[in-house]
Structure 1
Amino acid sequence: MAPTDTAVDYYRVLGVNRDAPQDEIQRAYRKLARRSHPDVDRSPGAEDRFKQITEAYHVLSDPERRRKYDQFGSDWRHVTDEAMRTPRPGNVGAARDVDLDDLFASLFGGHRPGRGGPVAGADTEAELDLSIEDAFRGGRRRVTLPGRALDVTIPAGVVDGQRIRLAGQGSSGTPPGDLYLVVRLEPHPRYRVQGRDLVADLAVAPWDAALGASVPMGTPAGQVRVTVPPGTSSGRRLRLAGQGLPNPRGAPGDLYAVVSVTVPRPATDEERTLWRRLAELHAK
């Protein structure tokens, strides 16, 4: 059964075919969400279009919700998994032949959604841009969404792609839907993120690299000292255990310092003489 909702076709909203794979749906959503966000699109109706795009992605990005929508259209929210598995007599295993009026009569006391019964609000999604420092520390943050602002508790150690659920903050309805904030870690001038691990360059003077040293290094938690073994070359990774992003359910990530040996330009005759002497010793 094709969707019966003539007001909103989620596939048309995202501009994809009905057989579009998940990665195509995700690309379409991100493109439209960036272009149609009310902070970018100031035209009339931008906020409603953005909400519709987000709702369409919420439904089509989840295989189970998409399956229900493909079969029941706008009534998909009120179809339980048990109802999907219950065939009509004489049609064992033929879930697609379920009589909708009989189904909704049993589920909602004779009120088919859209015919006087309560309609639950849809879950929605919004992206939440965070710096690595904010992701590391967590804490309270005010999030501005189209038409409203919310105070949100950010768990310490959130990672890119993690979803933060705000119950009852989605689309209005009975009951209202939930809002999911999808964490997007912003590019950082110093740190690179690999899961919960962080990677950063560590500038080391040539004499410290040759002789070994304890070199200061900044981390999201504050400054630490890194032990550089004697004979360290550029590109060597030094692991600082537990200095990556926290993990409330397990071990924290690590921080990897990638050594970059920086050679200073000789500024005096004495420095040039010492460099020449060092070159002569290595040439022997």
Structure 2
Amino acid sequence: MAVDHYEVLGVARDASSDEIRKAYRRLARELHPDVNKDEGAEDRFKQVTHAYEVLSDAQSRQRYDRGGDEQGGFGPFGDIFETFFGGGGQTRGPRSRTERGQDALLRVEVDLTEVIFGTTTTLEIDTAVVCDSCQGSCCAPGTQPRTCDICQGSGQVQRTVRSLLGNMVTQSPCGSCRGFGSVIDQPCPSCAGQGRVRSSQSLEVEIPAGIETGQRIHMAGAGEVGHGGGPAGDLYLEIQVRAHETFERHGDDLVATIDVDLVDAILGAEATIDALDGPVDITIRPGVQSEDVLTIKGRGVTKLRGAGRGDLKLPVHVVTPSKLGGKEIDLVKKLREIRKPHPPTLKANQSGTFQRLRERFFGA
């Protein structure tokens, strides 16, 4: 037969929330298993508590009044009582002394010349390594942990807490062994029972060609060793490429302005310049203008994730001589007479030469 929750609590069907709460408290104190040892008292206590759970919630009470929850079964609430009154919960094992080490981040500066083809460098880093004396056991040499006599090696202790709903059994880490299940009476003096020590280590690192400022190199297992000699974390190297006094990098291209004498700009010339990776032969065509760009294919930076190299781009700056000798002035005057150049004319205002070059070749 269906159980009438109102009848179980001894209240009218139109009872207020306050009346239901008072009725439950009175019956709970009377029927609590710690107080009432009569046969059937515990079952009645469960029934009273379930009735209160249904009627104390407005939505649950409305469903019940419309005909829902008429069986009076305990449902999932009964599972909670099983835990409270002797049912089994999950038992956690002892905590491990071995933990994974932390990851580390290290900033590494490299020269632009080293980025063209990549390089190998040796870094000195301060990190945590396994203690040589105890080999990560945390114990003094010749000793070992003993089983905790409080939790008997489980790492957990149980406590019974009295509540309105009955005796609740809780689990918490053992305070004597801090949840490890064992106690180290004689910690290793070299590492103070940590299983690891700080040490300066040399680390050989391969810097890949084409890497840029802000990019990181991931070195798995090269970070700090964990507590108890646990596995090492990872090391991340964040790259910072030093600025060069002559060349700038734009993607995989190298850029540097080249000064060309006025005579060479008029007549053209052959020249050799020193690029970052050695001498480069260039040809200056006759009539070259400022803002023209000489491009030397394949003499830029090696591509990080691809084949080949970028280009070397040389924006031209035609240099007008400011001091001329008498003969030079006479020759220039003759040239003007022959050429009869157009008079200076105005043009729309423009930004600086290098800025125009940047916008032209590399975007605004």
Normalising by structure 1, report the TM-score: 0.55
Letter in 1 for 2:223: G
For the residues of structure 2 that align with 1:276 and 1:244, how far apart are their CA atoms? 42
1:100-157 deviations in Å (ceiling 9; x for gaps): x98xx9xxxx568xx3253222322221111111112322212244444422222233
* Residues 1:162 and 2:142 aligned together: no
Q: Counterpart of 1:137? A: 117
Q: Counterpart of 1:171? A: 224
CA RMSD of aligned residues (A): 2.7
Change (3 A) 1:167 1:267: same
Letter in 2 for 1:272: I
Q: Counterpart of 2:239? A: 183
Once the two structures are superposed, the pairs formed by residues 1-284 of structure 1 within 5 Å of their partners are 115-116=95-96, 118-146=98-126, 147-173=200-226, 174-247=230-303, 249-283=306-340
Greater percentage in helix: 1
**Shift of residue 176 of structure 1?**
0.8
Q: Gapped runs of 5+ residues in structure 2?
A: 1-88, 127-199, 342-364
3-state secondary structure, aligned to 1:189: coil
For the residues of structure 2 that align with 1:187 and 1:279, how far apart are their CA atoms? 44
**Shift of residue 222 of structure 1?**
0.6
**Shift of residue 247 of structure 1?**
2.2
For the residues of structure 2 that align with 1:282 and 1:129, how far apart are their CA atoms? 55
Change (3 A) 1:172 1:280: farther
For the residues of structure 2 that align with 1:145 and 1:279, how far apart are their CA atoms? 68
**Number of corresponding residues:** 177
Letter in 1 for 2:253: D
For the residues of structure 2 that align with 1:166 and 1:278, how far apart are their CA atoms? 66
Greater Rg over alpha carbons, structure: 2
For the residues of structure 2 that align with 1:281 and 1:111, how far apart are their CA atoms? 100
Q: Gapped runs of 5+ residues in structure 1?
A: 1-100
For the residues of structure 2 that align with 1:241 and 1:273, how far apart are their CA atoms? 41
Identity of aligned residues (%): 31
For the residues of structure 1 that align with 2:317 and 2:109, how far apart are their CA atoms? 30
Deviation larger for 223-232 or 162-171: 162-171
**Shift of residue 258 of structure 1?**
0.8
For the residues of structure 2 that align with 1:185 and 1:283, how far apart are their CA atoms? 51
For the residues of structure 2 that align with 1:279 and 1:266, how far apart are their CA atoms? 18
Which has the higher relative contact order, 1 or 2, with Cα contacts under 8 A spaced 6 or more apart? Answer: 2
Letter in 2 for 1:275: V
For the residues of structure 1 that align with 2:247 and 2:317, how far apart are their CA atoms? 15
For the residues of structure 2 that align with 1:281 and 1:121, how far apart are their CA atoms? 81
For the residues of structure 2 that align with 1:167 and 1:131, how far apart are their CA atoms? 25
For the residues of structure 2 that align with 1:180 and 1:275, how far apart are their CA atoms? 62
